Structure 1
Amino acid sequence: MTRRRTPRTSVIRLTTGNAARTLNHPFARREPVLALDFGATSVLVTTSGPVTVKDLEFAHQLAREAQRFARSLERSFYGLPDGRGVAA
């Protein structure tokens, strides 16, 4: 992660669980929407207009960090640094 240039003014914590899910909504004639659902709360990620290079860069960064998050969860779940073992 890179260092933030501006300080955070607020943090919203959304935890995973039975109701948590992600959905991609591709549309033929407009920009796609990524929905992060946490039960009664949803976060929608989309562009502010036609897709730009910055939008693509953000999408790739989001995918990279989501993959890293998944690997960290796997290591925690299996209890070993290499991700192999039994559930902790």
Structure 2
Amino acid sequence: MTRRRTHRVSIITLNTGRGARATSHPYPARTPVLTLDFGALSVLVTTTAGDQVTGADVAFARQLAHEADRFARSVERSFHGLANGRGVAA
């Protein structure tokens, strides 16, 4: 992936929690779709075109997987199970 060349105009924060989920939808006749659900809001991640995959799509999917893995590891490290089952940030 190339470095961002434009400045961010806005930021949307989507908090995980009860009901948040990520689901991959592979389709036999089109490219896959990744769905991120946050209660009443859903984000669909798709490829550039619905009928083909580009090298940039593959690079982004790999980057997404890598960063999602890093995020999961950071969340796991920050969580310490307590008797109340809530945990605390380290």
Q: Which 4+ stretches in 1 moved above 4 angstroms?
A: none
CA distance in 2, matches of 1:17, 1:53: 33
- Unmatched tracts of structure 2, length 5 or more: 82-86
- Alignment partner, residue 22 of structure 1: 22
RMSD: 1.8
CA distance in 2, matches of 1:62, 1:76: 21
- Alignment partner, residue 78 of structure 1: 80
TM-score (norm 2): 0.81
User: Per chain length, whose mean CA-contact separation is higher, i.e. which structure has more relative contact order (CA < 8 Å, sep 6+)?
Assistant: 2
Q: Paired residues, what number?
A: 80
CA distance in 2, matches of 1:77, 1:4: 31
Determine what percentage of the aligned residue pairs are the same residue.
62
TM-score (norm 1): 0.83
53, 68, 72: which one aligns with 1:66:
68
Q: Write the deviation string for residues 24-57 of structure 1: whole angstroms up to 9, x where unpaired.
A: 0100010100000001000000012110111000
- Match of 1:78, SS state, is coil
